[in-house]
Structure 1
Amino acid sequence: MSKVEVVRAAMVQAMKAKDKARKDSLSMLLSALKNAEIDKREPLTEAEENAIVKKEIKQTQETYDLAPADREDIRKEAAERLAVYKEFAPEDMSVDQIREVIGEVLKELGLESPSQKDKGAIMKALMPRVKGKADGKTVNETLAGMLNES
Structure 2
Amino acid sequence: MALREQLDADMKTALREKDSLKLSTVRMIKSAMKYKETEPGAAGPLDDAGILQVITSEIKKRRDSVTEYEKAGRSDLADKEKAEIAVLQHYLPEQLTAAELEKAVADAIAEAGAEGPRDMGKVMKVLTPRIQGRADGKVAADLVKQKLAT
TM-score normalized with structure 1 length: 0.77
Larger Rg: 1
Post-superposition Cα deviations, 1:67-120, rounded to whole Å, max 9, x if no partner, equal 121x33322321221121111123333332233333333433456xx3445444
Equivalent residues of 2:92, 2:133 under 8 A apart:
no
> Match of 1:143, as an amino acid?
V
Number of residue-to-residue matches in the alignment: 146
Describe how 1:3-22 pairs up with structure 2 within 5 A: 3-22=3-22
Name the counterpart of 2:97: 94
Secondary structure in structure 2 of the residue aligned to 1:31: helix
Name the counterpart of 1:47: 49
Between 98-107 and 54-63, report the one with greater CA deviation. 98-107
CA distance in 2, matches of 1:53, 1:7: 11
1:73 to 71, 76, 87: 76
Structure 2, unaligned runs of 5 or more: none
Equivalent residues of 1:4, 1:33 under 8 A apart:
no
Post-superposition Cα deviations, 1:106-140, rounded to whole Å, max 9, x if no partner, equal 433456xx344544443444334434443222222
CA 1:76–1:106: 2 relative to 1, 3 Å:
closer
CA distance in 2, matches of 1:116, 1:35: 36
Equivalent residues of 2:7, 2:26 under 8 A apart:
yes
CA distance in 2, matches of 1:34, 1:143: 33
Between 49-58 and 37-46, report the one with greater CA deviation. 37-46
TM-score normalized with structure 2 length: 0.77
Describe how 1:21-60 pairs up with structure 2 within 5 A: 21-39=21-39, 40-60=42-62
Query: C-alpha displacement at 1:27, in angstroms?
Result: 1.2
Highest RCO, 1 vs 2 (Cα 8 Å, sep ≥ 6):
1
Structure 1, unaligned runs of 5 or more: none
CA 1:118–1:60: 2 relative to 1, 3 Å:
closer
CA distance in 1, matches of 2:78, 2:112: 45
> Match of 1:73, as an amino acid?
D
CA 1:18–1:61: 2 relative to 1, 3 Å:
same
